[in-house]
Amino acid sequence: MDVLSRPAEEFGNDETLERLWAARAMEHSDIYFNMLCSVDTRWLQLTPHDDLIYTHFKQDFPEMDVSYVNENEIKNSMNKAKWRIFCEKFKNIVEDYSFGTLMRADAKGDYSEQNTMLVPRVQFYAIEITRNRENLNNEVKKLYKCTAKPNLETPEHTSKIAT
């Protein structure tokens, strides 16, 4: 995966790089969705900078409803410019701040073709941190089963957790 951190100018439209990016984006979305299915998201911390991202997001987009994000709305020319300014604030703070990341449009939905869009990583963080803090992502646990959720009900796991 080292190749993904190299300058884009070195590659042009390299199919191998596109496949690596797609695999990494899918892996990230799978891991994140499994976390949503497994924990109380109000306490989930996505980055060491969650408070800063959340504060700037609420200042810059105070009226945005994050329960459902309309892709055309956030990517229209006016909002795209606002988001670019927002993202650039985190250029030297958030690792891979502009890396393409898959995000769910509807907080109650899973990652599907109809419910997924591509956004910069820090935009994903801003919306998902807000969803977590406003208890919008906890609905996922009720609607979907986590694919890799460990069984914490067994006595073996319970004793390990308690120690």
Q: What is residue 147's predicted lDDT score, i.e. its pLDDT?
A: 56
- Tell me the whole-structure pTM to 2 decimals: 0.76
Cα–Cα dist 115/163, whole Å: 41
What are the sequence ranges of the domains in the chain? 2-143
Half-sphere exposure at residue 29, Cβ-oriented, CA atoms within 13 angstroms? 22
Give the CATH architecture of domain 2-143. Orthogonal Bundle (1.10)
Q: Mean pLDDT per segment of 10 residues, for the chain of length 163 residues?
A: 57 65 78 84 92 98 95 91 96 92 92 91 97 90 62 36 32
pLDDT for the residue 22: 74
